[in-house]
Amino acid sequence: MGKITLGGILTSGVVVMLIWFFYAVPELSTSPEVFEVSAENIGMIQIADDIGSPLSDPIKMVFVWNGNVVERIGNEIKMQTSYTYRDILTDEILWETTLDETVDATTRKYIDKPGHFMFPSDLEQKNYQVYDVGGSVLNYNFVGVTEIEGLEVYEFSGETTFEVSYIYPDFDVPIYEDYSATNFIEPKTGIEVSFTERFTDYAIIDNQKVPILDAWDGPSEFSQKILVQKAETQKRIHDLYHNVVPVIIAIGTLAIAIIVYSKAKVETKSKEIVELKQTETRKDEFSSMIAHELKTPLVPIKSYLDMIISGKIGQLTPQQIEKLEIVRSSAESLNKLIDDLSDVQKLDTGNMKMHREINSLSDIINETVIKLEPDFNKKGIKINLQLNHVGCFCDKSRISQVVLNLLTNSIDFTPSSDGEIIISLSKEGKFAKLFVEDNGSGIPEDKLEHIFQKYYQVDSSLRREYGGTGLGLSITKGIVDMHGGTITVESKVGEFTRFTIMLPLNDRESQISQTPKIES
């Protein structure tokens, strides 16, 4: 295994950040959910029977706008958009049309004509060409910033005139339409949350506009709420992708860099005892501070992720949930790392508290095995339990941590094809004897004496897949020592590794003993 350097860690962090911003983040703004829309407006329409006839009394109508992704090939999205106007009382279709359009997913521009199919994400306060209305892409002017149901939106307005003679085949003169619209757009996502429109169809007779249709409509309350909720959900995900995840990546990179840096400092000063102790003291104080400072922002980050994934603040697609689950798993790994740093500092300073009582060691082991069952199954590892009922005066959570550390180690270094882990528990005099044995890659004999040292990692010729921080076994030994027990290790490269723990069954006097410092 090559030497891990601080520069290598920081470079890796930068690479991960770049991959996130140039791959994952663009995927958010090009997902089909962003392009698809279903909206409903309510309005009035007046229609003349013939050119020059008076307009009818206003008829209440409903306008339904549906946009669906039909196909996606690479960066091109094929959209089918339908516009339907109905008499709200009779359900008679007053007018409808369907458009098939091809859009660039990244820019949201039409492939075969100028302008945008929809407003782009990260809107600027400027004018845009958006929406094909009767073969004419509308020129929208930026009006200002406002709010709809507490959501900040940008207001745009546009108008155009185009010929609509094809809609009136019975008339022998050209018919034109004056169309205007006001749209309200959430600026980060480019999602439309509300719009109003007005259109007047007319003929020009003796240089005068003679109206044959006049209509106007605005959003229904229900439709607007749905569109606002969609925009709010996408905005939260947008903020998560742009802000929260990069913070997690940065914190993870910083934490790993700190560990590598601390380990390098210890190795560099190992020959000078006095200077080593001073370095240890500074490192422990630094680790304690870092663990606290990293833990503080991580708690709300995890909570925020849990709320997003649970759907409490908006529904997600399976693809988005899958990616956020990866982020949550990384956050949990970072949390485990911080807990290890905190435990090391507590053991070194004698501040780790024990809450001991009589507990069943076999129950503790069984509970831990059940917790790790998915990991055993994933690698196809066989578990051989040889447990006797043994009660012990101990701290249940800390002994669970010991068993978890040993089993996690065995899982990491046990082969997938024919892996086996043996867990044995028995009484031996006044002690409980627990051993965990695996048929993994083993530990070289010259490395065994260092295995419980902080930050120590075995660099075997097998090039183990799993690294870690080198804190787990040192914490395990510290907890066993605090219980007045012992832990030893036996191993043969390529055959097995066995950890044996001896714990006093009812050693109440050890409860008041001082906390031993773990090995450095």
pLDDT at 365: 93
For residues 81 and 205, what is the distance between their CA atoms, to the nearest angstrom? 34
Name the nearest CA neighbour of 201 among 181, 180, 177.
177
For residues 230 and 235, what is the distance between their CA atoms, to the nearest angstrom? 8
Tell me the pLDDT of the chain (520 aa) as tens digits: 455 566 666 677 676 666 656 555 556 567 777 888 889 999 999 999 999 999 999 999 999 999 899 998 888 999 998 989 999 999 999 888 888 999 998 889 999 888 999 999 889 999 999 988 877 788 999 999 999 999 999 999 999 999 999 889 889 999 999 999 999 999 988 999 999 999 999 999 999 999 999 999 999 999 899 899 888 888 887 777 667 777 777 787 777 777 777 776 766 666 666 666 666 666 666 665 655 555 566 666 767 677 777 777 777 777 777 777 777 666 666 666 666 676 776 777 677 888 899 999 999 999 999 988 988 888 889 999 999 999 999 999 899 989 998 998 888 888 887 889 999 999 999 999 999 999 988 889 888 888 888 777 765 444 345 555 678 888 899 999 989 999 999 999 888 999 999 999 875 544 434 444 455 5
The pair phi, psi for residue 451, each rounded to 5°, is -65, -25
pLDDT at 374: 86
CB atoms near residue 158 (< 10 Å): 20
First-to-last C-alpha distance (Å) of the chain = 22
DSSP 164-179: -GGG-TT-SS-EEEEE
For residues 57 and 49, what is the distance between their CA atoms, to the nearest angstrom? 12
- How many CA atoms does the CB half-sphere of 450 hold within 13 Å? 12
pLDDT at 270: 60
Integer-rounded Cα radius of gyration of the chain? 34
Q: Which fold has domain 357-504?
A: Heat Shock Protein 90 (3.30.565)
Whole-model pTM: value is 0.48
- Sign of torsion over alpha carbons 504, 508, 511, 512: negative
Sheet holding 420-428, edge to edge: 382-387, 420-428, 431-438, 496-504, 486-492
Please check whether residue 478 is in contact with residue 518, taking contact to mean a CB–CB distance below 8 angstroms: yes
Report how far Cα 428 is from the mean position of its chain's Cα atoms: 49
Residue 223's H or E segment, with its range, is helix 221-239
Domain residue ranges in the chain = 31-234, 278-349, 357-504
Residue 299's H or E segment, with its range, is helix 273-310
Name the nearest CA neighbour of 232 among 122, 321, 306, 153.
153
pLDDT at 26: 58
Please check whether residue 250 is in contact with residue 294, taking contact to mean a CB–CB distance below 8 angstroms: no
